[in-house]
Amino acid sequence: MSYNKDISSLLQDWEYQEEKEDKNIRRIQGSNGRELLQVRLPLGVEQYEIHGRPDGVKPEGFESWLDHYYFLAQQFGQEFVLDHEALERLCNESLLYYNRYLLFFQIQEFELCIRDTSRNLRLLKFIRDYAEDAKQLEFLEQYRPYILRMQIMAKALLKVKRDQDIPNALRLLKAGVDEINNLPEMPDNEIFDFERARSLRSLQELIDQLEDQLPVSQEDELKKELDQAIQSEDYEKAAEIRDQLQKLE
């Protein structure tokens, strides 16, 4: 069959903007009324379903391969095992959700990012329970720090965006740092080590940014003035500030 579906007009109407990544992502209403996510790339356009599997495919009539294999696991119980073909399907499918939750994060759709990262974390647990091939499990597990990082940041930023609640956002981030620090080691796995270090660094950077937005307390302000007085050798002023700090305490 020959096709003549030139999309040049679509690409001309929606110009790719290299310096403004958020302008290259949009939510639209599809022809049947459902919402879709579109991404403008340098040479074309990608389209994602907002709900269900990102490409809209329904394997064996289920929302995803993960749902299909969940069903089989319930049917067969302890006899059920994920063979190589099933693991390959699940790994490929997880990449679709990964691509989508990155886009959700970029456009600050944090609840949808949390939903998709939670889905991929459930996938890791499912594969750990039923995988036949330990190597395939390790291939996915090495990215756990990254998935956790994206979920933790999305939860914290949702607190800030929806509730302007920086203190609770900081608590979520600091608990996330502990969770990633306490992940079981994966000996000789450089990707896991890299992803954990990178994730901890990203969380700490966000913690620093949010802490800078907190109002400065009277005690913190006095401590700052005390340091300045000591550095300038104004010991009389330093003594006065110490007295004020003692009264506050």
> Which pLDDT does position 248 carry in this prediction?
66
pTM of the model: 0.83
pLDDT at 22: 79
Evaluate whether 13 touches 4 at the Cβ level (below 8 Å).
no
Beta strands (DSSP E) in the chain are 25-29, 35-41, 44-49
- Spatial CA neighbour of 102 closest among 45, 151, 29, 56: 151
Distance CA 72, CA 15 (A): 45
Residue closest to 222 by CA, chosen among 205, 209, 239: 239
Contact 150, 120 (CB under 8 A): no
Residue-level pLDDT at 151: 98
Tens of pLDDT along the chain (249 residues) come to: 556 788 888 889 999 998 888 789 999 998 888 899 999 999 999 999 999 999 999 999 999 999 999 999 999 988 899 998 999 999 999 999 999 999 999 999 999 999 999 999 999 999 999 987 777 778 889 999 999 999 999 999 999 999 999 999 999 999 999 999 999 999 999 999 999 999 999 999 999 999 888 876 666 776 788 888 888 888 888 888 787 778 766
What pLDDT is stored for residue 217 in this prediction? 67
Domain extents in the chain: 142-214, 224-248
Give the pLDDT of residue 181.
Answer: 96
Q: Which of 180, 142, 141, 177 is nearest to 156 (CA)?
A: 177
Place of tokens 């401590």: 223
Contacts of 122 (CB under 8 A, 6+ apart): 66
Burial class of residue 246 (count of CB atoms within 10 Å of its CB; 0-12, 13-18, 19+):
exposed
